[in-house]
Amino acid sequence: MRARSRALLSLLGALALLGALAGPASAAPAPAPAPAAQGISIGGVRFGHLPAGLGEASDFDYEYDDVAFTARVWESPAPGGGWRVDADIEVLSGDRLTSGAALHDWFIAYQERPPADAHYVPVLVHGRPGWLARDQLFWLVRPGLAVSVRIDGTRWSTSEVVRIGWAADADYLPQRVLTRRLSQATSRGVRLKVSTLSGDG
């Protein structure tokens, strides 16, 4: 019995040594899921979907006009040098965000985006009032709390913006449902204009 145990231990040791010597050719452990697949939390709001290919993330906390912002910005090297903004997710909180209309009027004025740069379509996100443009979705989570999601519209489609919004703190709707809703908005004569995400927004 002892001889059998020694032989088994010797065999296991030899296999372990062969595995160590094999180096890169040996089976590697499965890579950890990307942060986008795991989901992230920003300002207490969980985002269960992010598009693939986002660059380095940086976090910011700031306040403007009595509204507090908690933001995460992803940047990647630009082809011509420097950096470009891939995505910007902001969670806003403040007493002035009392309703969808209050959020819309204040946030549009805050951003100062020209109408030619972003044409917003009214939408519902989890039953709450929101507005969708080619590269951005913002909505009222509840009075006093709102979210804005903006991506580089030259690299990702509007469907990615919608997926991020609908996967935030709620059950994920199938892509076919999101696509149908977007198609319905377009069929009503709404034109979503392509715009480029700039870092100075």
Q: Lowest-pLDDT range, 104-108, 175-179, 195-199?
A: 195-199
Q: What is the pLDDT of residues 79-136, one digit of tens each?
A: 888 899 999 999 999 999 999 999 999 999 999 998 888 899 999 999 999 999 999 9
Question: For 137-147, what is each residue's pLDDT tens digit?
Answer: 999 999 999 99
Three-state DSSP state, 68: strand
Q: Which residue has the tokens 């917003």?
A: 120
Mean pLDDT of 166-174: 60
Confidence (pTM): 0.67
pLDDT over 90, % of the chain: 55
Vertex 102: Cα angle to 99 and 109 (nearest 5): 150
Per-residue pLDDT reduced to its tens digit, 33-51: 344 445 789 998 999 999 9
Residue 59 and residue 90: Cα distance in Å, rounded?
10
Where are the extended beta strands (E) located within the chain? Answer: 40-42, 45-47, 56-64, 67-77, 83-93, 121-125, 128-132, 136-142, 145-151
Contact 143, 78 (CB under 8 A): no
Span of 43-47, 62-66, 172-176 with lowest mean pLDDT: 172-176
To the nearest 10°, report the CA torsion of 154, 41, 52, 178: -70
CA neighbours closer than 13 Å in the CB half-sphere of residue 167: 20
Closest CA to 76 of 101, 58, 60, 89: 58
